[in-house]
Amino acid sequence: MEDLVDQYASYLRLERNVSPHTLRNYLSDLRQFQEFLSRRAKEEQEKKIALEDVTVHLIRAYLASLSKRNRKSSIGRKLAALKGFFRYLVREKHIQRDPLALISTPKQEKPLPAFLSVDDVFRLLGGVQGNGLLTVRDRAILEALYSTGVRVSELVGLNWGDIDFQLGIIRVIGKGSKERIVPIGEVALQALREYGAEQARKWRRAAKGETPVFLNHRGGRITTRSVARVVEKYLKAAGIPVRMGPHGLRHTFATHLLNGGADLRVIQELLGHASLSTTQRYTHVNLDQLTAVYDRAHPRA
């Protein structure tokens, strides 16, 4: 199985172009299944269980063992990893039949994404006070996240050459290495200009070209975890009782656009969603807005 997993990893990386994060998770899931097969073989006093001998009953036993200590979402991902692996094995003729063909992926409960109100966003962004390098950087991070709705991985991957200050757009590399162009507002651009000037003074290098936009205190490219800490820090400082990371500002961006009348297809393009069904999660509205629309529209309200 080791060799086949290595071949599958190459296929995912080179042909499917999956992200390093996804690849790491899938390989971890496949190793976990491999460990299950080894334990099962010992229990049944067999030398090993070959992949062609894996049955639907064995897969169900594995899923049952996972249910004791994993959430439904985690089980769903592990099952997706197995399904992809076995489809690959059948297509490459390493095995004759797919033991997962009749096993459906458990339906996931999709909670509404957390988001901030417009007032809370202004409290958050207005609370970043000061002129130190890191404070100026943090202000630019928060303004850019809310102004563009980019993923945190896309934000940390930004170089100065990806920002067009004249046109008010940025170029980001999203999932599957897909490039897209996203508008960015003037307030965020001004925050980036100020940060670029501070960065050039501190590190003695021009804020342009392939130089990373957001740096840590040592002058290296900032990490996604550090950006999450920035968001958490200023939410707490603003007294906003919401627990969220950078993705929460992405949800906020999409929700505010939708509530402001933006077309769902436009939001899909801005967010870089491959499927419109992913974007449709943002079609929730808050109760105040719903009541206001009802009061205006219903003759007997």
Q: Find the catalytic residue in 62, 146, 234, 282.
A: 282
Q: Find the catalytic residue in 175, 193, 221, 281.
A: 175
163-164 sheet: strands from edge to edge: 163-164, 169-173, 179-183
Residue 158: DSSP 8-state: -
Q: Find the catalytic residue in 77, 137, 151, 256.
A: 151
Compute the C-alpha angle 31/106/24, nearest 5°: 30
The helix-helix angle for 20-43 and 2-14 (nearest 10°) equals 160
Report the distance separating Cα 124 and Cα 118, nearest Å. Answer: 10
Contact predicate 151/174, CB 8 Å: yes
Report the distance separating Cα 224 and Cα 245, nearest Å. Answer: 10
Known catalytic residue at 94: no
Q: Find the catalytic residue in 77, 137, 139, 250.
A: 250
Tokens 């070209």 identify what position?
A: 209
Report the distance separating Cα 263 and Cα 257, nearest Å. Answer: 8
Known catalytic residue at 146: no
Report the distance separating Cα 124 and Cα 237, nearest Å. Answer: 8
Known catalytic residue at 273: yes
Known catalytic residue at 247: yes
CA neighbor of 128 nearest in space, from 141, 147, 146, 114: 141
CA dihedral over 160, 161, 167, 170, signed as positive or negative: negative
Known catalytic residue at 78: no
Q: Find the catalytic residue in 137, 139, 256, 273.
A: 273
Task: Please give the single-letter amino acid code of residue 44.
Answer: E
Known catalytic residue at 151: yes
Active site residues: 151, 175, 247, 250, 273, 282
